[in-house]
Structure 1
């Protein structure tokens, strides 16, 4: 079964002008796919990064630089303006870049009968790319929706896309090319 995964569409992720400028470009693809998936009763997973203020979930670099972000209950962790998870979406909370690390995501996908993931959200050269690699290593078929994924750095994005294709045969396609 096919599933849509929407990763980290949260305010903090779009805190710089270069990143916030991407919201208007990726939201139409995400919203369109989410609408189709909801109408077809196909699984949708809304993935968010949430950290605890006591540092128990912080990454190595957050601790090293004493830099808090995406703290539960803060505006940083809220959805970016313009994005609203579909009501049918299952929420997955993560604390690491890959959705598969320290979560029950793989168990949830298997229980739901999911075999193929369409990945959207942010960032190709971050959480989306690392999730794609981890999914492929867990034998899920993976497709990245190029017009539904943002990036931190365009050169790093291209490198990640190339690496994912060479290592795992993960393709980048436009949302309109998904046969639903």
Structure 2
């Protein structure tokens, strides 16, 4: 799958607001070792790392449809909600990509950045399998990137939805789930 790919590590939405509920916060301790070990391996191999974050403007101009419908603000620039979750620090060499929608490709220049960096394969980590990670994975596959999800480096909102999302990604886009230790570099 990745034999001829220029790989990049993508870390999605490791922000405080994403872990505001106890069942989500409980996942952080399991995600950080996988993300950290991959980040270290990518850094040592001098391969690109992208730290993707969701940040909205307080003036509502970047809010999603549901945020507007329910008048619910979150991940507003400059607030604690938008800061990294405790225990996570973006790798020093990581390139920051700011998004306002679930997919890292929607209304961003992420695809252009990846092409400029010569990236053809993505290893995805972060949150959530039943949210931003899955939608980014599907969009990446449709843009002809080789994609794999790092199963032990991805959290979920609803444990019951995780497996169906993984199966959907595999059936629709041939995106596999692999463990961090098995990631090709």
Is the structural similarity TM-score above 0.5?
yes
Alignment pair present for 1:161 and 2:166: yes
Q: CA deviation at 1:154?
A: 1.2
- Cα distance in 1 between the residues matched to 2:126 and 2:69: 27
Alpha-carbon separation, structure 2, partners of 1:178 and 1:7: 17
Unaligned runs of 5+ in 1: none
Q: For residues 43 and 19 of structure 2, what CA distance do their matches in structure 1 show?
A: 26
Bigger CA drift: 15-24 or 154-163? 154-163
Q: Which of these residues, 160, 170, 175, is aligned with residue 170 of structure 1?
A: 175
- Give the RMSD, CA atoms, in angstroms: 0.5
Q: Normalising by structure 1, what TM-score?
A: 0.99
Q: Which of the numbers 112, 115, 118 marks the counterpart of 2:117?
A: 112
What is the number of residues matched between the two proteins?
Answer: 180
Q: 2:183 & 2:158 partners in 1: Cα distance?
A: 26
- What secondary structure sits across from 2:14 in the alignment? coil
TM-score normalised by length of structure 2: 0.96
Distance 2:49 2:172 in 1: 26
The 5 Å alignment of 1:44-123 reads 44-123=49-128
Residue segments in structure 2 that go unaligned for 5+ positions in a row: 1-5
**2:97 match: secondary structure:** strand
1:179 is displaced (CA, Å) by 3.1
Q: 2:154 matched to 1:149? A: yes
The Cα offsets for residues 68-113 of structure 1, whole Å up to 9 and x where unpaired, read as: 0000000000000000001100000000000000000000000000
Distance in 1, matches of 2:59 and 2:45, equals 41
* Runs of 4+, deviation exceeding 6 Å: none
The CA distance in 1 between the partners of 2:12 and 2:104, in whole Å, is 8
Counterpart position of 1:129: 134
